Structure 1
Amino acid sequence: MARVDTPIIVFSEEDARRLHHPHDDAFVVSIRVGDYNTHRLLVDNRSSVEILYYLAFQQMRIKREWLVPTNAPLVGFGGTRVYPLGMVTLPVTVGDYLQQITKDVTFLIVDCSFAYNAILGRPTLNSWKAITSTYHLMIKFPTKY
């Protein structure tokens, strides 16, 4: 018999009880990035990178010297190119005490206006072994507890 090292993750109607359906809301969360509780992070399963917008970067009071140069442009919807100011790796904590994980996440710092402070994409979601549900507006991931 196969041994299961990670729990089976399921979503139920109970998980969606606090939502008004039908909805097409954006999947937005609050998490701890570095030493800061950061709100308005967009969870985007389509994004191949993690983005931290420069205004949020400044509000975190992270020294600009921490940025690692990068010259790879980001190509967005409509083919527009945006060149990041650099990248920075910060610890990110998600979940509630005991049922939480902390992992280093590398963000590209982008200086443009956006409704969110950051975007979490596939690389981070995959490193967390996270399962997302847009119907439930919820992320579940395995933890030690």
Structure 2
Amino acid sequence: MGGIVATGSSKKARKTYLKSVLNVHLTGSRPKTTRGESPIIGFTEEDARRLHHPHDDALVASIRVGDYNVHRVLIDNSSSADILYYPAFQQMGIDRARLMPVSAPFVGFGGTRVFPIGFITLPVTVGDYPQELTRNVMFLVVDCSSAYNGILGWPTLNSWKAATSIYHLMIKFPTDYRIAELQGNQATARECYIATLEMEDHH
């Protein structure tokens, strides 16, 4: 939990964030949205046929960030921030001077606090042309050990209007050319899980 995408870093911003949804519940009004029905997103057994079952694997996929294909990205519905780990940031050859300062920490399991070294906005593309989607994503850059190169949390998944299925290890999202999908890599998910356990054993 944490970051600056939804609530900002000040107490006032957090109170405003809470009041905005309370106002919807009290008045019944809601923010204006673009007219037009979104297509229905669904999953079938056919979507899961290439997976090993039963499984308890995470949803780990590859995405395009700017001009780079970034692998080992965890799709995490429980993360309030989009994260890019510093080693991946370095491999992309981005000048560290482009990082903007951020003072808000993350709060993890057990109350552990992690302070990002900055944030940067980069274009992310998912899907296959013409059923693809490109959105700017504000990544918080974190310098700590991880088996992943990045994490996509609910800020980006909401902006995609995405539906995720852990059972199918898949994301589906609407585009101008019907529903597109992003398939997770089950083998990579298990590699990351094992690597994380080995890192913990080493510590």
- Tell me whether the two structures share a fold, i.e. TM-score over 0.5: yes
Please give the per-residue CA displacement for 1:42-78, whole angstroms capped at 9, x wherever unaligned: 0000000000000000000001111000011111112
The one of 109, 132, 140 aligned to 2:141: 109
Q: Tell me, in whole angstroms, the C-alpha distance in 2 between the residues paired with 1:4 and 1:124.
A: 21
Give 1:4 deviation, angstroms.
5.4
**Cα RMSD, aligned residues only:** 1.0
Q: Does 2:77 match 1:45?
A: yes
Please give the per-residue CA displacement for 1:10-45, whole angstroms capped at 9, x wherever unaligned: 100000000111100111000101110000000000
- Give the structure 2 partner of residue 17 of structure 1: 49
- Give the structure 1 partner of residue 96 of structure 2: 64
Give 1:141 deviation, angstroms.
0.1
The one of 67, 70, 87 aligned to 1:35: 67
**What SS is found at the alignment partner of 1:115?**
coil
Q: Tell me, in whole angstroms, the C-alpha distance in 2 between the residues paired with 1:129 and 1:16.
A: 21
Identity of aligned residues (%): 73
Q: Tell me, in whole angstroms, the C-alpha distance in 1 between the residues paired with 2:94 and 2:162.
A: 27
One-letter amino acid of the structure 2 residue matched with residue 99 of structure 1: Q
**What SS is found at the alignment partner of 2:175?**
coil
Q: For this pair of structures, how many residues does the alignment match?
A: 143
One-letter amino acid of the structure 2 residue matched with residue 44 of structure 1: D
Gaps of 5+ in 2: 1-34, 178-203
One-letter amino acid of the structure 1 residue matched with residue 94 of structure 2: I
Runs of 4+ in 1 over 4 A off after TM superposition: none
Q: Tell me, in whole angstroms, the C-alpha distance in 2 between the residues paired with 1:59 and 1:20.
A: 32
* Higher RCO (C-alpha under 8 Å, 6+ residues apart): 1
Q: Does 2:159 match 1:127?
A: yes
Give 1:5 deviation, angstroms.
2.2
**What SS is found at the alignment partner of 1:129?**
coil
Moved more, 35-44 or 76-85: 76-85
Give 1:111 deviation, angstroms.
0.2
Higher helix share: 2
Gaps of 5+ in 1: none
Give the structure with higher Rg (CA). 2
